[in-house]
Structure 1
Amino acid sequence: MEDPIAYQPLFVEDTDFYNRILLGSLLPQWLWAPLPRFCQTWLRNYIGGLLLYFVSGFLWCFYIYYWKRNVYVPKDTIPTRKAMFLQIVVAMKAMPWYCLLPTLSEYITEHGWTRCYPRLNDVGLLAYLVYLGIYLAFVEFGIYWMHRELHDIKPLYKYLHATHHIYNKQNTLSPFAGLAFHPLDGILQAIPHSIALFIIPTHFTTHLALLFIEGVWTTNIHDCIHGNLWPVMGAGYHTIHHTTYRHNYGHFTIWMDWMFGTLRDPTMDEGKLN
């Protein structure tokens, strides 16, 4: 793989393309084009984050609470509109800060400070898949321990993570709770994605896509529906996390909880969440 600094023009080209696609489609050019590139990128990430949060949240709530009412979630466990509104308020306060992380990731990548590469043919398909697997394992490990320490270190829990854990019952959890964190809490849990860039050769666009996939994923794992697809850390596992506070710290999979002894299986423990 070439020196990342040699890729700088391609990284800049990609960022400018993504900015033009989203900002150019939604805003008049005079409103965003004069902004510094860092601000353009932040604005693009912010608008993209809002769209992702609201579109995925409203569609999923409509599907499980109205279209499939009483199919997936019993009527008495459907969260109130007030609970969902309060979750949206918390998420909106944090969203501008969340969007700094992908913006900084792009900035440091453009300046050649990471091991990112811009095109798949820079490393080949096999190497891309191997690096992606290592990246995902690193992120899974990092998020698990970051999340666990946010529980175990009492000041971190009290001043950061408790904001999210006020939603601790099925009738208060909703897809909109997925991003309802203290801003620093949300950034800390996502930061393994950025740390990985300094260690693992990573496809630039894949990294950005995975950061936004986080938004869809966290919506899914707060809907209280147990998908029961091993080894995926579905909502059934994560609902247990919200009701026991001591289990299922993992993110995409249950592997870290299995390895470190914090796994609790909803299919084996149904009806005993305390």
Structure 2
Amino acid sequence: MDGDYLRLFAEETNFYNGIVLGNLFPENLWKPLPHVFQTWLRNYIGGMILYFVTGGLWCFYIYYWKRHIYLPKDSVPSNESILLQIMVTMKAMPWYTVLPTVSEYMVENGWTRCFSSISEIGWPAYLVYLIVYLVIVEFGIYWMHRELHDIKPLYKHLHATHHIYNKQNTLSPFAGLAFHPLDGILQALPHVIALFLVPTHFMTHIILLFLEGIWTTNIHDCIHGKVWPVMGAGYHTIHHTTYRHNYGHYTIWMDWMFGTLRDPEVEPKKAS
């Protein structure tokens, strides 16, 4: 890619930085900062806002507004459990947001296969590439998650931090990002690897990375949405109780293909 084209990516990240930082700080505080630090700070603030807004609204809805409608009383996590999840996430968030910062840096320097505008390739090609991107991400996250269980040192030193939440009354939307920092980065890494394998729309990549925060909030609320083939909270709650099933991310397909799927609808029959 030539310099003129790469400047389109830099201009785009400058625009995003301005939206967040420009509305929070005077220009003389953030404009002099190095561009990459501006990008990290924007990602960090954006991640924090997303975490607290989505987690807070969802907890208010299921634990207070619709209290005992979606979950029995003994399945509602204590305030202490939720506070612990928030504390673990706060320690990890500065490191989580390094990953999108690095991915944007690589895009701006022309190291990936990203393109700036959908009009460059047309909507049919964009949709095909998006599907391929999502398949790569689904495959990558499945195997990254599975190996974090199967490789014992990785589980002991990284993933076990997340699996202290192993039953309904310790799971909440705020548990969604309560990981060891390196664990959270490894599970999101397929989003960045995909940039080197398939042409990807830059803005779509950024949006999908941040949608991870919303999705992981949803799958830790213990409410089974029953929308096939979505890997909803019903499946993920089983993952937290058996440790050996339902490693998938957005869908059940990888678990179905590799023999690790356990369906919440048939689980009671197996237990009887």
Contact 1:4 1:116 in 2 (8 A): no
- Determine what percentage of the aligned residue pairs are the same residue: 73
Q: Name the amino acid aligned to 1:23.
A: L
The gaps in structure 1 that reach 5 residues or longer are none
* Paired letter, 2:226: N
Matching residue's letter, 1:16: N
Once the 2 structures are TM-superposed, how far is the Cα of residue 7 of structure 1 from its aligned partner? 2.3
Using the TM superposition, give the Cα deviation of residue 110 of structure 1 relative to its aligned residue in structure 2, in angstroms: 0.2
Query: Which amino acid letter does the alignment assign opposite residue 143 of structure 2?
Result: W
TM superposition shift of 1:122: 1.0
For 2:165 and 2:196, locate their aligned partners in 1 and report how far apart those are by CA, in whole Å.
Answer: 35
Pairing 1:128-207 to 2, within 5 Å after superposition: 128-207=126-205
Selected match of 1:245 from 243, 246, 251: 243
Q: How many residue pairs get matched? A: 271
Alignment of 1:27-42 (within 5 A): 27-42=25-40
* Structure 2 alignment gaps of length 5 or more: none
Q: Distance in 2 between matches of 1:256 and 1:88?
A: 30
Distance in 1 (alpha carbons) for counterparts of 2:124 and 2:20 = 31
Runs of 4 or more, structure 1, over 6 Å off, are none
Compared CA separation, residues 29 and 270, structure 1 to 2 (3 A): farther
* Candidates 200, 208, 211, aligned match of 1:210: 208
Contact persistence 1:64–1:72 (CA under 8 A): yes
The equivalent of 1:259 in structure 2 is 257
Aligned ranges for residues 10-49 of structure 1 at < 5 Å?
Answer: 10-49=8-47
Q: Give 1:166's aligned amino acid.
A: I
CA distance in 1, matches of 2:78, 2:2: 50
Letter matched to residue 100 of structure 2: P
Give the corresponding residue for 1:79: 77
Q: For residue 119 of structure 1, what is the aligned residue in structure 2?
A: 117
Residue 270 of structure 1 deviates from its aligned partner by: 3.2
**Corresponding letter in the other structure for 2:256:** W
Report how far residue 6 of structure 1 moved.
5.2
How far apart are the structure 2 equivalents of 1:271 and 1:158?
A: 32
1:12 aligned partner, one-letter code: A
Which deviations, in whole Å up to 9, do the C-alpha atoms of 1:75-126 show, x marking residues without a partner? 1110000000000000000000000000000000000000000100111100
Per-residue Cα deviation, 1:167-213 (whole angstroms, up to 9, x for no partner): 00100000000000000000000000001101110000000000000
Give RMSD over aligned pairs: 1.1
Distance across 1 between alignment mates of 2:85 and 2:188: 19
Of residues 89, 92, 98 in structure 1, which corresponds to 2:90? 92
- The 1:89–1:266 alpha-carbon spacing in structure 2 relative to 1, beyond 3 Å, is same
